[in-house]
Structure 1
Amino acid sequence: MRSIDLTAASWRKSSYSNQDGGACLEVSDDLAAVVPVRDSKIPGGPVLVFPADRWTSFVSAITGGQLGG
């Protein structure tokens, strides 16, 4: 597995995150091929990295209501 350097990554909080500091997801748009995702409450914790095309499909499915909840 290849290591990705995220030390200079800029993170943005998801617009769907809980506004009172709870369930907060952050993503970085700094890399073209992958989308790193982390828990904003644990910025030094683990990061999940998704292929950019798969992340786009996931977000489209959520916003399109295809993943009921």
Structure 2
Amino acid sequence: ETLSMEKLETLHGVVFDGLTKFTDYTFFGKFIENGMITGESWSVTKCGYNPTFQNMKDKQYTQQD
């Protein structure tokens, strides 16, 4: 599953824990690229896919096979 909030323009952090069906973080890529979300404000644990901040910087928004 993924998340889409098309009108959201500002986001300063992500903390997800236990969203076992959440696997697609494409939506958050623009906030990583523009610097709004930093390594300190990115935390994803116990989800369907748990990308690190570096994974996100490398555009690995979904689980790589």
Q: TM-score, normalised by structure 1?
A: 0.24
Q: 1 or 2, which has the higher helix percentage?
A: 2
Q: TM-score, normalised by structure 2?
A: 0.24
Q: 1 or 2, which has the higher strand percentage?
A: 1
